[in-house]
Amino acid sequence: MADMHYHDYLQLDKILNSQFPESDKQNLSAHDEMLFIIIHQTYELWFKQLHHEVDAVAAIMSKPALNDNSPELQTVVHRLNRCVTILRVLVHQIDIMETMTPMDFLDFRDMLRPASGFQSWQFKQLEAKLGLKFDNRHGKEYYTAQLRKEHVDVIKNSESNSSLLELINSWLERMPLAPSLSDDPDSFWQIYKKSYEGSLADAEKGNIQALEEIFFNIEPQTSPKESADWRTNIKQSLSSAASRAALFIMLYRGYPLLQQPFQLLNCLLEIDEQLSSWRYRHMNMVHRMIGTRIGTGGSSGKDYLKAAADKHYIFREIAQLNSFLIERRKLPALSNEMETRLGFVHQ
Ligand code: HEM
């Protein structure tokens, strides 16, 4: 058997012969079109890697129960951290794109119509795998109209599978360590509620109703308009039991058994933050590049991107749990039995 060669292993024949600037075909000079193609191809390769990581994480999280005595949770955290690092690189790649000036872009921009990054099905599928539902997308009709049917099918298929957000919800619901809910005034969550209430400023008193809705599953007494802002128009993805488990992990993350779960929740927030940074940097670059003109894909350009950036937070509900933290020194003391269960040494 012939020795493996770098060139063949990486299929460089295919990759390096996949750049065909439209301006070359039309015999017009547009130096920066090569950069434009290569940067998009690079993004798509990284999207592919992100899918590889998210699929692997979903496969582990889909198991009926994670084995706490195995490296499973650590593997999940490790791979999600890798996703975060890739996303950081994707944000920074915009620096390279911005070395192209608006006049350089105009040299070939019209040749692309109606192609647009909006048609990146890998990007939309990634959002779906993480947990963005079709109904929560900005500009639904525009979204389906711009993509090829086979790509819409791929994305819809991912939407119909359990998303990472749904898998996290089930995992949190299964968490055996969080104290259960009870009406007993001496129980953990009733003591917590009292402490939280005591920490609120007058203008925040409505938060107690939100706490009851989110963590105690109590139906709102007031209309959504009067209810706290974060509850309006957002369909809950996290159940009350999952929300309690997540809050408990955040509050007592210093205990050995909660360290990895905390890292996992933190990774999700970091993924949202990096995706959001990418959206804002992309949006500002678009504004700088085309001003207020419509995009090559026909959207309102910057306005469309701004609305999508504001709406497409996937792990918003986990981030919002931070509104319900209390000072460490006021945390309810855990029973000896609970402390033992959360530690490394079990007597
Ligand atoms: C000169 C550089 C760029 C310009 C002017 C630009 C412009 C736009 C515009 C105006 C849109 C909205 C849809 C439309 O009407 O076309 C859009 C969407 C999008 N672009 Fe770009 N883009 C650029 C570079 C990139 C790069 C390098 C990527 C990397 C993959 C990218 C990925 C996307 C994605 C994923 C969307 C959909 C976002 C969403 O729906 O939330 N774009 N772009």
Helix, strand, coil percentages in the chain from 3-state DSSP, rounded to 5: 65, 0, 35
Residue 347 predicted with pLDDT over 70: no
Q: Which atom, in ligand 1's list, is nearest to the CA of 94?
A: 27
Compute, in angstroms, the gap from residue 312 CA to the centroid of ligand 1: 15
Compute, in angstroms, the gap from residue 153 CA to the centroid of ligand 1: 21
Compute, in angstroms, the gap from residue 314 CA to the centroid of ligand 1: 19
Q: Find the mean pLDDT for residues 184-198.
A: 95
Instruction: Determine the pLDDT at residue 134.
Output: 87
* Ligand 1 site residues, Cβ closer than 6 angstroms: 39-40, 43, 97, 105, 116-118, 120, 123, 282, 286, 289-290, 295-299, 301, 304-305, 308
d(CA 285, CA 273): 18
- Report the nearest-CA residue for atom 37 of ligand 1: 118
Residue 202 predicted with pLDDT over 50: yes
d(CA 99, CA 96): 5
Nearest Cα to Cα of residue 296 among 112, 100, 123: 112
Instruction: Determine the pLDDT at residue 18.
Output: 98
Residue 228 predicted with pLDDT over 50: no
Instruction: Determine the pLDDT at residue 226.
Output: 44
Instruction: Determine the pLDDT at residue 233.
Output: 42
**Model confidence at 222, in pLDDT bands (50, 70, 90)?**
low
Collapse the DSSP code of 35 into the 3-class scheme (helix H, G, I; strand E, B; otherwise coil) and give the result: helix
Residue 219 predicted with pLDDT over 80: no
**Model confidence at 89, in pLDDT bands (50, 70, 90)?**
very high
Compute, in angstroms, the gap from residue 10 CA to the centroid of ligand 1: 28
Structure tokens at 290: 């085309």
Residue 114 predicted with pLDDT over 50: yes
Compute, in angstroms, the gap from residue 286 CA to the centroid of ligand 1: 7
Compute, in angstroms, the gap from residue 290 CA to the centroid of ligand 1: 11
d(CA 104, CA 167): 45
**Model confidence at 303, in pLDDT bands (50, 70, 90)?**
confident
Q: Which atom, in ligand 1's list, is nearest to the CA of 290?
A: 5
- Report the nearest-CA residue for atom 33 of ligand 1: 117
Instruction: Determine the pLDDT at residue 196.
Output: 97
- Average model confidence (pLDDT) across the chain: 91
Task: Give how far Cα 107 sits from Cα of 20, 90, 98, 200, Å.
Answer: 15, 25, 15, 57
Q: Which atom, in ligand 1's list, is nearest to the CA of 298?
A: 15
From 41-50, 134-143, 153-162, 172-181, the region with the lowest mean pLDDT: 134-143
- Report the nearest-CA residue for atom 43 of ligand 1: 117
d(CA 153, CA 169): 25
Task: State pLDDT tens for residues 247-273.
Answer: 999 999 999 999 999 999 999 999 999
Q: Are residues 244 and 189 in contact, defined by beta-carbon separation less than 8 angstroms?
A: yes
Compute, in angstroms, the gap from residue 118 CA to the centroid of ligand 1: 6
From 161-165, 231-235, 341-345, the region with the lowest mean pLDDT: 231-235
**Cβ within 8 Å of residue 169, ≥6 positions away:** 237, 238, 239, 242
Query: HSE on the CB side for 131, CA within 13 Å?
Result: 21
Rg (CA), the chain: 24
Structure tokens at 245: 């488990």
- For the question of whether the overall pTM of this predicted structure is more than 0.95, the answer is no
Instruction: Determine the pLDDT at residue 300.
Output: 80
**Model confidence at 69, in pLDDT bands (50, 70, 90)?**
low
